[in-house]
Amino acid sequence: MSARIDVVSIFPDYLAPLELSLVGKARQRGIVDIAVHDLRDWTTDRHRTVDDTPFGGGAGMVMRPDVWGDALDEVLQAGPDGGAAPGGRVLLVPTPAGQPFTQRTAEELAGVLADGGQVAIACGRYEGIDSRITEHYAARHDVQVREVSIGDYVLNGGEVAALVVIEAVVRLLPGVLGNAASVIEESHGTDGLLEHPSYTQPPTWRDLEVPEILRSGDHGRIARWRRERAVERTAQVRPDLLATHPVTVRAARRGDAEVLAELAAATFRLACPPDMSEEDMAAYVQEHLTLERFRGYLKDGRRWLLVAEVVGAVVGYTMSIMGEPTDPEIAAAVPTRPTAELSKFYVRAALHRSGAASALMEATLAMARERGLPGIWLGVNGQNERARRFYGKHGFERVGGRTFTVGSRRESDDVMYRTL
């Protein structure tokens, strides 16, 4: 069964790149048959006219339905396998007023072609094609009409859109790409994420190093790192793509110690005052947020650690500690007993608007209630306005203050308390 693509345009030369690269090779190897037609071959007048003025007035010209109709009738009749087109026929009309063309559309069209179907692309020019063309073919039971836009901007004609569609679709046909896995692992793949960053030789270029983990040879860690970066990048660049993925919160397990230590080191600075030195931050991380420390935290029955995950990547965590506050200032400020400290609450910066923080907070408070606590407290840096607002929104109120040391500095915190 052969796959067949037809393109109709008044500028067939515009489609010359279809001879090149992977699409050109796929044609040579007989994976796809692509024919480009000149719309003017179906005109009947001396001037080979394809357009006329719009009914109702207005700027620009509109392409005539009679010329397009004759062209499309013939093109759609020919099709693959002697005109049978077992995979069905799609009339694809590029237009900025169409449905967004996405990877899912490309997959659907590749499916039609892989089954021996036909995709005919009608490239408009001027103000587009008379609307009766889509109406007419949509009414035909053997043709599926799809009006697609390749983005929210206006081009002069459909040829560039046709090239975009063909390139995106043909690379999905079996046998076109050397390594079929590269299609699955890419941006807009099955998990709906953007791809992680990629690196090649040399390991150091203009003082920029390839992340150490990618040279570790540890495939498990590499896969985890890539997923985390993919989630982070998607959250930064295309939060709309993440919105369809739920945030899940679960109790941290012993095996999470490494993930937690890495996450803690990466997020600790988010809660630090802006003028804190790198050395002081590093000293704190070295002392409290190492792998060994987290192994200990996870074994300690007085602590409960929760992690938030998005598409399988841990993006945030909380750690709470049961017990009487050791600091007398805090002991005096916290009004109820028994109590616990919400000691750590961190979410990767890129995911601050993803809902992960609220989901973590709800689950943390639910765990505190399950333990029968009447209230829970936390310390938040006096300068960390964003965090104080977040805790305030979740029912915490300031009940006092405390001072403590980070590296070589004295810091002051607000003590906030929430009744459960």
Cβ atoms within 10 Å of 96's Cβ, excluding its own: 15
Nearest to 370 by CA among 420, 410, 311: 420
What are the two backbone dihedrals, phi and then psi, of residue 259, each rounded to the nearest 5 degrees? Answer: -60, -45
404, β-bridge pairs: 411
342, β-bridge pairs: 320
Give the whole-angstrom CA distance, residue 360 versus residue 352.
12
Per-residue binding string, ligand SAM, 103-132, x by CB under 6 A, is --------------------xxx-xx----
**From 154, 204, 244, 326, residue interacting with ligand SAM (rule: CB under 6 A):** 154
Say whether residue 290 binds ligand SAM (CB under 6 A). no
Please name the residue that has the structure tokens 């607002």.
Answer: 389
Say whether residue 94 binds ligand SAM (CB under 6 A). yes
35, β-bridge pairs: 6
Least separation in angstroms between residue 91's CB and ligand SAM is 13
**From 31, 112, 150, 168, residue interacting with ligand SAM (rule: CB under 6 A):** 150
Q: Are the beta carbons of 257 and 290 closer than 8 angstroms?
A: no
Our CB check for ligand SAM shows the closer of 54 and 407 to be 54
Say whether residue 155 binds ligand SAM (CB under 6 A). yes
Least separation in angstroms between residue 371's CB and ligand SAM is 56
Say whether residue 156 binds ligand SAM (CB under 6 A). yes
Residue nearest to ligand SAM (CB): 124
Name residues contacting ligand SAM, limited to 128-147 (CB under 6 A).
Answer: 128
**From 90, 161, 289, 361, residue interacting with ligand SAM (rule: CB under 6 A):** 161
Say whether residue 149 binds ligand SAM (CB under 6 A). yes
Question: Largest Cα–Cα distance in the chain?
Answer: 98
Say whether residue 97 binds ligand SAM (CB under 6 A). yes
Our CB check for ligand SAM shows the closer of 152 and 275 to be 152
Residue 43 CA, chain-centre distance (Å), reads: 46
Our CB check for ligand SAM shows the closer of 169 and 380 to be 169
Nearest to 184 by CA among 198, 197, 171: 171
Cβ atoms within 10 Å of 404's Cβ, excluding its own: 12
Least separation in angstroms between residue 90's CB and ligand SAM is 15
Count, residues near ligand SAM per rule CB under 6 A: 19
Our CB check for ligand SAM shows the closer of 124 and 400 to be 124
Nearest to 362 by CA among 333, 330, 325, 390: 390
Q: Are the beta carbons of 306 and 367 closer than 8 angstroms?
A: yes
Least separation in angstroms between residue 5's CB and ligand SAM is 16
Say whether residue 96 binds ligand SAM (CB under 6 A). yes
**Contacts (Cβ under 8 Å, ≥6 apart) of 254:** 295, 298, 299
**From 153, 181, 219, 278, residue interacting with ligand SAM (rule: CB under 6 A):** 153
Question: How far does the chain reach from its first CA to its final CA, in angstroms?
Answer: 67
The two three-digit tokens of residue 129, written as one number: 């094609």
Least separation in angstroms between residue 71's CB and ligand SAM is 15
SS (H, E, C) 138-158: HCCCCEEEEEEECCCCCCCCC
Least separation in angstroms between residue 49's CB and ligand SAM is 17
Provide the binding-site residues for ligand SAM, judged by CB under 6 A.
Answer: 94-97, 123-125, 127-128, 149-151, 153-158, 161
